[in-house]
Each structure stands twice: as C-alpha cells, then as structure tokens.
Amino acid sequence: MPIGDVLPEISLTLGAVIIVLFATFTRQQQHHWAAVLALLTIALSAGLTLAQWDGQPQLTFSGVWALDGMAISSKLVVLIAGALVVAMSPEWMQTDRRHGEYYALVLFALLGVVMMASASDTMELVLGVLLSSVASYPLAAYHRGWAPALEAGMKYFLIGALTNALLTIGVVVVFGLTGNTGYTEVAQGLAGGSDSLALTIATACIVLGLTFKLAAFPAHAWMPDVAQGSPAPAAAFLTVIPKIGAAVALARFVSLLPPDVAWRAIVAVISVTTMTLGNVAALRQTDVRRLLGWSSVSQSGYALMAIVVMSVSDQALPALVLFLASYAIANLAAFAVITFLRGRTALEDYQGLVKNAPIATVVLILSLLSLVGIPPLVGFFGKLMLFKVTLEGGYAWLAFVAAANTVVSLFYYLRIVASMMFANSRPVVHVLPGQWTRITMAIAGLLILAIGLGAEVLVEYTNAIGFAM
C-alpha cells in the first residue's frame, strides 16, 4: 500500500478534520478563517496531484485505485472548481452558526468525487458515491429554516437513496457473475462469458446509479430544486462537481463491458433524453437559478456523448475532460454572480442589471454564452471537441440532436441577457458586502476568456490521457 499514491486524498481528509476541530473551538466571528484553511488544503492537494502528472499510468493499492491521465486531470478540475466554490462562500455563510463546518462538508464531498473518478474497483466506486452523497445532502439543505431548502434536500436525499441502492445491487450482481470487484478482474471475467440477462440488469442498475450524480435522466429531478433552494455556493457545487466524478466513473465502468452488451445504445438514449428534457424544461423557467438547474441537466446529456463514442474515437476521453472543465468554469461563474447578488433568482431581478452592476453583468453574459458554446469562450472548444469525436465515432444523428438542442438553449440564455441589457433598471440592487465573492466572480469570468483563448494548450496537455487497465 504505497501511501504516497493517495497523498492528495489524505490531505483533503486531514484538512476537513482540522476544519471541524477549528470550528468547534473558535467563535463564529472567526469561522471565515476556515475558508482559508480549506483553500490551503485544496492547494496542497492540487500540488500533490500535479506531482503525479508525469508518472506512469498504473493501478495501485492492489488494483483498486487508478493513477492515470483521466483520474489526475479530472481530479485537478474538481479541485479547481472546489476552490472557486469555497472562495465564493464566506460572505454568504457568515451569519450561519455552522459556518466553519460548511467547509469541512465541501472537502469531504470533494473527496468522494475524487474517489469516484479514481476508483478501479466496484466497491471503491460505491464508497466514493456514498461519501459524496452523504456530504452533499446537508449542503443542499444547509438553510434548514427555509422551506425550499428543506424540499430540495429531501428530494435530493430520497432520489439518492433509491439510486444508490440500485448502484449497490448492480455491484453485487457483477460480483456474483465474476467473483471479483476489481475492474481488471471483472473485465476478464466478463470476457469469458456470463449470464446475459444478469449482466444487463447489473449494467442497468450501475448506469442508473451514476445518472443520479450526473443529474441525467431518469434520476435528474433533484437538480432544479437544489439549484433553486440550496445556498447559492452549495448550489454551485452540486450542479457542477459531482457530475465530473460520475462521468469519469461511468466511462471507466462501461469500458469493461463486452461488445455484446448494448451499452452504447443505452447511454445514447439517456444522452438524447437528458439534453432534450433539460433544454425544453428550461425554456419555460422565470427563475434564473432553476433555469440554470435545468441547464445543468442538459449539459449532462452533452457530456454523455463522449462516453457513447469511447474507444471508437481516440479523442473521446480528452473531449470529455475538456467539456467538463469548460462547463464547470462557466456554471461556477454564473453562480458566483448569483451569490454576489444575494441569491436573487427571479428573472425580473436582473432587469437593467448592466446599469447597476456592470461587472457582474459582463461575467454572467460570458458564462451564459460559454454554456451555449460561442467562440472564443472556453465552452465553444468543449462543445467543438464533443461534436468532433461524436462525428468521428459514427454517431452523426447524435451530433445533429445535440446541435438542435444547442440552438434551443440559445433562446433561454439570451432571455436573461436581454433582460439585463435592455429592460428598465431596478431602483436598487442588493449585493453581498466584502471582497471574497467579488474577486471569485472576476476570476471565474477571466478564466472563461483566458482558457478559451489558450484552449489549444489545454488540448495538447489532455491529448493522450486515457485509462490504466
């Protein structure tokens, strides 16, 4: 058991424990220092992860832990996104008596997502999903005195309980078929032939279990409520970060399946249904946070396109990572603006915002256009890679459906832009005092532009990433 291989994860665990102890023995007025501790922890974990970048792809800890390009790159995306969430939180959470514990929950949830992305064993996958879920449920309902937060947390918990049970059932059936839980041994066992009905049931249960963390159909119903009812920084976390780990975990699992299992058709159907449902539902929303929740559902459908053509197109996995990174930055930038505006959600609250909060308006416009995929923003290159690999993989019909959905999404994103730019301005715009959220919002907006302009460098670095098997 080479402990050095999991130093990034150990640092997250120790950081969360230190923050819990710090919050226990200090006054509430000092809890904003817990955010500093969380950022230092994430920076340490990211540095240790970068140190693994040039290493040989391998399976460590008796084959249950992957140290490969996909695990390391997705871990970095998760950590950067987590840092942005932490940085936008102090002013929002400062009046909450449990301010300090909030950051420990964020770190534990990050650890669960990282475990999902790095798991090379079905039991390790279950552990990652459960840790991420258990830490995320209280984040969704953190404002327990507000009815929409309780509703969001309860819906999130109930759907999670059902889908996590299905995931565990699928893992048990796979163990029964192969006698192993390690991915390498499972792949070898399935290649030798197995009960097709049992394998189909196991595959369906595991895929359905992971669609919960992806917020993809049919386990997507919690996402709009969480986006609307959770604390804005927690909503930013839950709409972005868990789906990064879930997408990588799903890609890693389906790569084990033999050719006679029609998993590509299953994932393609889920992809089309998810993106179409998310975009159509977003069209009728007048609440910006709920609209972004449905938008997050649709973005999961786009991400599944790369998984459909995995192993058919050499660039499918790099395209998946690039798209997830571009989506994460854009969506976090949008929620940073919402946090800065004290969580204002009604579309009418954004009328004429450009006159009262020009910087926030610019950042929100950049994030929305990036979510659509307008050049030269980072979202354009993420979607460009997706469409490219989908066409190369022979799924032109799927690319066409995704293009049509992208056009549909333009309508509801531009509705927000038009309200901010051309409607009569409201007399007063309330914003959070302090600099944490303001600086985070500006950094996220700059990242949308900077990474978009330097996307070729990012593509070059992710060009050869893959799975260690």
State the pLDDT at residue 427.
63
Reported pTM:
0.94
State the burial class of residue 13 (Cβ atoms within 10 Å of its Cβ: 0-12, 13-18, 19+): middle
Q: Among residues of the chain, what percentage have pLDDT more than 70?
A: 99
User: What are the DSSP calls for 331-373, one per residue?
Assistant: HHHHHHHHHHTTT--BGGGGTTHHHH-HHHHHHHHHHHHHHHT
Among the ranges given (181-190, 386-395, 428-437), the one the predictor scored with the smallest mean pLDDT: 428-437
Mean pLDDT of 390-395: 92
Radius of gyration of the chain, Cα coordinates, nearest whole angstrom: 21
State the pLDDT at residue 289.
92
State the pLDDT at residue 428.
66
**Mean pLDDT of all residues in the chain?**
90
State the pLDDT at residue 270.
95
Mean pLDDT of 377-398: 92
pLDDT in tens, 97-148: 888 899 999 999 999 999 999 999 999 999 999 999 999 999 999 888 888 8
Cβ pair 302, 416 in contact under 8 A: no
pLDDT in tens, 54-100: 878 888 888 889 998 899 999 999 999 999 999 999 999 888 888 88
State the pLDDT at residue 312.
87
423 φψ region: left (φ > 0), alpha (ψ -120 to 50), beta (else): beta
- Give the Cα separation of 167 and 206 in Å (integer): 5
- Give the Cα separation of 272 and 404 in Å (integer): 11
Mean pLDDT of 150-160: 92
Cβ pair 119, 246 in contact under 8 A: no
pLDDT exceeds 80 at position 197 = yes
Mean pLDDT of 157-162: 94
Q: DSSP letter at 59?
A: E
- Give the Cα separation of 313 and 322 in Å (integer): 15
pLDDT in tens, 203-223: 999 999 999 999 999 989 999
Residues with Cβ within 8 Å of 168's Cβ and at least 6 positions away in sequence, in order, are: 126, 209
Q: Report the Cα 316 to chain-centroid distance in Å.
A: 18
The dihedrals phi and psi of 66, each to the nearest 5 degrees, come to: -95, 130
Mean pLDDT of 268-293: 94
- Give the Cα separation of 132 and 134 in Å (integer): 6
State the pLDDT at residue 469.
63
3-class DSSP assignment, residue 193: coil
pLDDT in tens, 247-269: 999 999 998 888 878 889 999 99
